[in-house]
């Protein structure tokens, strides 16, 4: 390990320890914001693991997240909670592999379109399944898992995602993905199996999103398909990851924190204008900060270094 890496690890551990202290403040407001931030930290960092290097925009996060919720909602009365998390992870990985096999062998546009409709497709299937089974449309999740517990679990998952991302970046797989992102033709010609590299990373990112949904199910206590498969979630994840900068492991988190604080205000003050604000954010990211906040930081750091 190099000196810079030791330093980064130390900084990360300190930040995680500080973040873990939030529930001890006893403030319900900060805890609730903390859970939201931790959720989107996990989701958008794992999103960026796949979409950052490859530039494939995945809008499937909402579908995976909803599946995780439904696994817990359906199984909470029958099976112990950790087993459900495992089932959610396996299901998420299987779905990601199937979607990847069908679309990632082809050009990126097919993938975007497919993932765009995936959450709505699964929602329709779940609704149909529930009506033909004759059960009610909602599910109750009654557990004794408290909000601080959910928060710490999310932080733990976040730590796993960061370690995984760090390890993938150093591995042959991460190197292969960066080549694919730069030029897929070159990647194919240098003997990289582009489809399988992309599918592996998509499976990782889908599994994490599914487990996140499963972790958050106890917080809602009542699950309905329109809430679990909310179309907004996938877009929020994309926006935050790109705002922070998807090309760096630490990029998404610096997008998530400010965005969530502002978003919380917007949804409280102007609940009817959220889509409009979301649209403006998208345009701002494309035209004003194409490389995200991380890109800006790097540019100014390089300039400061150049001045001396």
Are 45 and 249 spatial neighbours (Cβ–Cβ below 8 Å)?
yes
Q: What is the nearest approach in angstroms of another protein to the Cβ of residue 251?
A: 16
What's the rounded Cα separation, in Å, for the pair 216 and 214? 5
Residue 233 lies near another protein (rule: CB under 8 A): no
Task: Select 31 or 281, whichever has its Cβ closest to another protein.
Answer: 281
Task: Select 105 or 149, whichever has its Cβ closest to another protein.
Answer: 105
What's the rounded Cα separation, in Å, for the pair 195 and 100? 8
Q: What is the nearest approach in angstroms of another protein to the Cβ of residue 275?
A: 4
Which residues within the stretch 76-135 sit at the binding site for another protein (CB under 8 A)? 102-103, 106, 108-110, 112-114, 116-117, 120-121, 124-125, 127-128, 131-132
| Furthest-apart CA atoms within the chain: distance in Å | 72
Which residues, including other chains, have CB under 8 Å from residue 104's CB and lie 6 or more apart? 56, 111, 195, 198, 199, 202
Q: Pattern 248-277, binding to another protein, x per CB under 8 A?
A: ------------------------xxxxxx
Q: What is the nearest approach in angstroms of another protein to the Cβ of residue 263?
A: 14
Query: What are the DSSP E strand ranges found in the chain?
Result: 138-140, 222-224
Q: Pattern 51-70, binding to another protein, x per CB under 8 A?
A: ----x-x-------------
User: Could you give the C-alpha distances from 76 to 123, 225, 292, in angstroms and in order?
Assistant: 20, 17, 40
Task: Select 14 or 121, whichever has its Cβ closest to another protein.
Answer: 121
Question: Dihedrals φ, ψ of 58, to 5°?
Answer: -95, 130
What's the rounded Cα separation, in Å, for the pair 145 and 162? 25
Sites of contact with another protein (CB under 8 A)? 55, 57, 102-103, 106, 108-110, 112-114, 116-117, 120-121, 124-125, 127-128, 131-132, 184, 231, 235, 238, 242, 272-283, 285-287, 290
């Amino acid at each position: 390990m190099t000196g810079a890496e030791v330093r980064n690890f130390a900084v990360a551990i300190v930040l995680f320890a500080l973040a873990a202290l939030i529930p001890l403040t006893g403030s319900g407001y900060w805890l609730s914001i903390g859970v939201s931030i931790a959720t989107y930290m996990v989701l958008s960092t794992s999103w960026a693991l796949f979409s950052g290097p490859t530039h494939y925009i995945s809008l499937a996060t909402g579908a995976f997240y909803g599946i995780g919720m439904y696994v817990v909602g359906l199984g909470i009365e029958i099976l112990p909670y950790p087993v459900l998390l495992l089932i959610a992870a396996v299901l998420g990985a299987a779905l990601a592999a199937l979607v990847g096999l069908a679309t990632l062998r082809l050009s990126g546009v097919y993938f975007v379109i497919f993932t765009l409709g995936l959450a709505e497709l699964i929602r329709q299937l779940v609704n149909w399944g529930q009506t033909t089974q004759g059960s009610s449309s909602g599910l109750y999740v009654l557990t004794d898992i408290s909000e601080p517990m959910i928060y710490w679990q999310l932080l733990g998952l976040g730590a796993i995602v960061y370690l995984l991302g760090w390890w993938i970046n150093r591995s042959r797989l991460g190197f292969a993905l960066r080549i694919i992102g730069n030029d897929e033709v070159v990647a194919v010609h240098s003997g990289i199996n582009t489809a399988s590299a992309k599918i592996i990373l998509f499976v990782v990112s889908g599994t994490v999103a599914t487990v996140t949904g499963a972790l958050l199910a106890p917080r809602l206590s009542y699950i309905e398909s329109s809430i679990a498969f909310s179309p907004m979630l996938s877009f929020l994840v994309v926006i935050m990851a790109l705002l922070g900068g998807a090309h760096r492991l630490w990029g998404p988190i610096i997008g998530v924190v400010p965005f969530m604080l502002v978003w919380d205000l917007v949804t409280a003050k102007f609940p009817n204008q959220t889509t409009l604000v979301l649209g403006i954010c998208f345009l701002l990211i494309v035209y004003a900060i194409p490389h995200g906040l991380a890109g800006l930081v790097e540019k100014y750091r390089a300039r400061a270094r150049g001045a001396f």
